[in-house]
Amino acid sequence: MDHLSSSQINLFLLCGLKYRYQYVEKRPKPFRPSALAFGGALHSTISWLHKQEMEGRKVPPDLVLRIFDADWYSQKTDMEIRYKENEHELGMIILAKQMLQLFLEEPRKPVKGTEVPFTVPLINPRTKENLGITLEGFFDVIEADDTIVEYKTSATTISQSDVDNHLQLTAYGYVFEQLFRKPAKGFRIVNFVKNKKPKIVTTETSRTGANYEAFFFLVKEVLKAIKVGTFHPRPGYWCKDCEYRDVCPLWKTSIVRQKTEPEGALANGG
């Protein structure tokens, strides 16, 4: 193993067994959950819009919606999208376009980077201990004033507490300081809430050196567990949409099925 990403770390913490299936055994996924397809297409469209605006182009709203159609189509070309009960493709497309129209109506700050890739060493910011692997990933958006922005889709509003403890934002802040030798100006999650009447909720947060030390400690412990092959299953509401549930020994038990009701805003995060 030569690198980790914040999504890998999150997955390991969510369910070690799913991490093993996906990243160690590299089992193919038989379907894509609708929430991932929805979030992926929305992210791609907004990233495209930011790139156009960074180049000084004024984009008409109807073109943004057509780009979403193309991004949605790409989500289903290589894999079946599996919908939840009472979900269907047309309804999700309409919901996404309503969200994009809301997004286009809101004032946007200048952006200097979108889907920006990074690779940095994992080093304790205080002791300088080096884990010998890198952290890799992408910034969703870096605004012109060095504010880091992350877009999320969810079934209910993400709480301030969840934003304050959001692992991905902490990873982004750590990476930003590694790359630019200065702290990010701030952090923001733009939450696309998939209600019957969709809304966008923006929440600000901050990070300190103590957050980055705690992040390093967490990554170090996750890495230890991965290296010794400790992949504990963790049943919960996420099992219901898991791509590997049909091969998971725990899915067939009543204990797991009792834990499949949503518990919080991140149940359908994208």
Give CA separation, 55 vs 61, 68, 156, in Å: 17, 20, 34
Among 68, 148, 54, which Cα is nearest to 103's?
68
The model's pLDDT over 74-130, given as tens digits with 9 standing for 90+, comes to: 999 989 999 988 899 999 999 999 999 999 999 999 999 999 999 999 999 999 999
Please say if the pLDDT value at position 198 is more than 90.
yes
Domain ranges of the chain: 111-228
Among 202, 196, 214, 72, which Cα is nearest to 150's?
202
Please say if the pLDDT value at position 255 is more than 80.
no
pLDDT for residue 259: 54
pLDDT band at 154 (very low <50, low <70, confident <90, very high): very high
pLDDT for residue 1: 85
Give CA separation, 51 vs 14, 58, 120, 147, 209, in Å: 33, 11, 24, 17, 31
The model's pLDDT over 31-82, given as tens digits with 9 standing for 90+, comes to: 999 999 999 999 999 999 999 999 999 999 999 999 999 999 999 998 999 9
Percentage of residues in the chain having pLDDT higher than 90: 85
Say if CB 233 and CB 239 are below 8 A apart.
no
Which DSSP string corresponds to the chain? --EE-HHHHHHHHH-HHHHIIIIIS-PPPS-EEHHHHHHHHHHHHHHHHHHHHHTTPPPPHHHHHHHHHHHHHHHHHSSPEEPPTT--HHHHHHHHHHHHHHHHHS----EEEEEEEEEEEEE-TTT--EEEEEEEEEEEEEETTSEEEEEEEESSPPPHHHHHT-HHHHHHHHHHHHHHSS--SEEEEEEEE-SSS-EEEEEEE---HHHHHHHHHHHHHHHHHHHHT------SGGGGG-TTGGG-TTTTSHHHHTT-S--SGGGG--
pLDDT for residue 161: 97
pLDDT band at 266 (very low <50, low <70, confident <90, very high): very low
- CATH number corresponding to 111-228: 3.90.320.10
